[in-house]
Structure 1
Amino acid sequence: MRSPKEISIEKKIFEQLNPESSAFKTAELLSSDSEIQLMQEYANTVSIVRLGYNDHGPVHMRTVTRNAVLMLNILHEAGIKTNLENENAGTLDDSMTAVILASFLHDLGMTIGRQDHELYSMTLATPIIDRILEKVYPDELGKRVIIRSLAMEGIIGHMAARRIHSLEAGLILIADGCDMEKGRARIPMVLNTEPKVGDIHKYSANSIEKVKITAGDPKPVRISIDMSSDVGFFQIEEVLLPKVNMSPVKPYIEIMASVQGGESKKYL
């Protein structure tokens, strides 16, 4: 059963999509799928309870989807075309469908473990992507092949460990890196009180008050980060920036960060 938080994020996703589009239908199918919901919930159990990491479950995967959809819409408004559009291989709607599939399923591999989870995510997501696309594009095998490949590129590339080449896939790792507000670290902070290596990630994330994605100037997309403490700069510099640097979307991104009451620091 989806939580009120999950439903709220889904509403924000749907608000950004054309109700008549393939992307909208894809988002509907993903959000109402019982198997996906159970896999996302178990990914969170493994991540938080077993491993002591932060949220990698239904809320996180929906948040990443919302971020990715928002950025793609901003880029479209700025006249930036996707790879499918530039290569005459598909439409903006097709690109959005691939982005939604990748972002909604990118952390399913956490049901198995942290190491190489992007590879496991791709394996677990493949049959799901196939059955979703068969409903959305029942008579268009060519489109299903292209969109599946693009979604897989987004999934396998979200950890910034492998070079990716499409704008669509490049949105996923940035959208993932932007989910760093303190709520994501709240449960691990409560459950795991013994100090251990890696705690800096939890404490830095807990200082991130707000992340906003808006249209920017002069670059199309602005990521604004508001922090309660300067320990949050660790989260930006060690988590978000490496993902931006590996993304084909980097030329279109600017990042502004500030501790509450302080001056903004511009990264890009």
Structure 2
Amino acid sequence: MITGFGLSGKAVEAAKLVLEDAEVQAMQEYANTVSIMRLNYNDHGPVHMRTVALNALIMMGLLRDAGIKTNLEKEDCGTFEDSLIAVLLASVLHDLGMTIGRQDHELHSVYLAYPILDRLLRKVYAADLQKLVTVRSLALEGISGHMGTRTIHSLEAGLIQIADGCDMTKGRARIPLIVAGGPRPGDIHQLSANSIEDVRISRGTEQPIRIDIRMSGEIGLFQIEEVLLGKIAKSTAKIYTELYALMDKGELKRYL
């Protein structure tokens, strides 16, 4: 994830710090235990959080290539690299609140992530308190807004919403399905997620970001229309996004 997307300088330092942090790893593992074993929900652990980070990094790169500036750049508060660090850290930490439970987990994630962000960013921005405060605040906005239920204002936070919603493939639902012995009757979320074969993020033809979702059955439309579309609709990055769905041997359906 570090070398493949051209991270350098402080962004590489931040990525290594958060990915190798023992406390972060322990919290991510326990978040997954609570999500899967206690709540019979889908993956909210280290694989999910890294997948969201990867999705967000891809979209950040696509926007940069299209000449679109982040909020920190437009507001003269920081560089693209600073925005990248905020998005990366927020993506890796956004579901720490699942260690407590599902309800309001994004808000629980904020206060659980704050001391970690502060600790790591003091290493990255040791000589720049203003930059530390700026990046920390932006990361917290991304964490608090990732569910799409609260209004966010920065482009950076909007990308985290979409990156989170794009982690919907059947692999994410595989473990809870195994634990539960198959989908529970009437559990549309698990059934629909299990029909999502692939999600790809690439350069669009009309907008910088294109999301293609391949499904094995029409029930996967629920995951797109009730989960992902809702997040995109509330996202500040919606205007830069194309969304398509493809049934196996079916026609391409365009949403955005």
What range describes the TM-score normalised by the shorter chain of this pair? over 0.9
**Deviation of 1:18 (Å):** 2.8
**Per-residue Cα deviation, 1:3-41 (whole angstroms, up to 9, x for no partner):** xxxxxxxxx34321333x211111110111111001000
Matched residue, 2:41: 53
Provide the TM-score with structure 2 as the length reference: 0.98
Give the residue type in structure 1 aligned to 2:197.
Answer: E
Task: State the alpha-carbon separation in 2 of the partners of residues 68 and 107 from structure 1.
Answer: 15
State the partner residue of 1:98: 86
Q: Does 1:255 align with 2:208?
A: no
Q: Which residue does the alignment assign to 1:17?
A: 6
Unmatched tracts of structure 1, length 5 or more: 1-11
Tell me the alpha carbon deviations over residues 195-237 of structure 1, each in whole angstroms, 9 at most, x when there is no partner: 6576111110110000000000111100000011110000000
SS of equivalent to 1:214: strand
Percent identity between the two aligned chains: 61
Q: What is the letter of the counterpart of residue 174 of structure 1?
A: I
Is 1:186 aligned with 2:171? no
Alignment match of 1:171 (pick from 159, 163, 166): 159
Question: Partners in 1 of 2:121 and 2:253 — Cα distance?
Answer: 42
Rounded Cα–Cα distance in structure 2 between residues aligned with 1:131 and 1:52: 33
Give the residue type in structure 1 aligned to 2:139: A
The number of residue pairs the alignment matches comes to 256
CA RMSD, Structure 1 to Structure 2 (Å): 1.2
Map of 2:191 onto structure 1: 203
Look up the SS of the partner of 1:14 in the other structure. coil
- Verify: 1:234 aligned to 2:222, yes or no: yes
> Does structure 1 residue 162 correspond to structure 2 residue 145?
no
Q: Is contact 1:78–1:220 with CA below 8 Å preserved after alignment?
A: yes
In 2, the alpha carbon distance for the partners of 1:220 and 1:145 equals 30
| Shift in CA distance, 166/45, structure 1 to aligned 2, threshold 3 Å | same
Is 2:69 aligned against 1:81? yes
SS at match of 1:223: strand
Mapped partners of 1:195, 1:58: distance in 2: 23
Are the counterparts in 2 of residues 17 and 23 from structure 1 also a CA contact under 8 Å?
A: no
Query: Matches of 1:51 and 1:200 in 2, distance apart?
Result: 16
Letter in 2 for 1:139: A
TM-score, normalisation: structure 1: 0.93
After superposition, what is the alpha-carbon deviation per residue over 1:72-98, rounded to whole angstroms, capped at 9, x for unaligned? 000000011000000001000000000
Structure 2 gap ranges (5+) = none
Match status 1:111 vs 2:111: no
2:32 maps to 44
Q: Which residue of structure 2 aligns with residue 6 of structure 1?
A: none
Q: Which runs of 4+ in 1 moved over 3 A?
A: 193-198
Residues 13 and 66, structure 1, Cα contact 8 Å, conserved in 2 = no
Q: CA deviation at 1:146?
A: 0.5
- From the superposition, tell whether residues 198 and 22 of structure 1 become closer, same or farther in structure 2 (CA, over 3 Å): farther
- Residue in structure 2 matched with residue 134 of structure 1 by the alignment: 122
Cα distance between partner residues in 2 of 1:194 and 1:184 = 14
Aligned partner letter, 2:237: V
Q: Please give the alpha-carbon distance, in whole angstroms, between the structure 2 residues aligned to 1:198 and 1:58.
A: 28
Q: CA separation in 2, counterparts of 1:134 and 1:198?
A: 48
Whole-angstrom CA distance in 2 between matches of 1:197 and 1:135: 49
1:4 corresponds in structure 2 to none
Matches of 1:181 and 1:128, distance apart in 2: 29
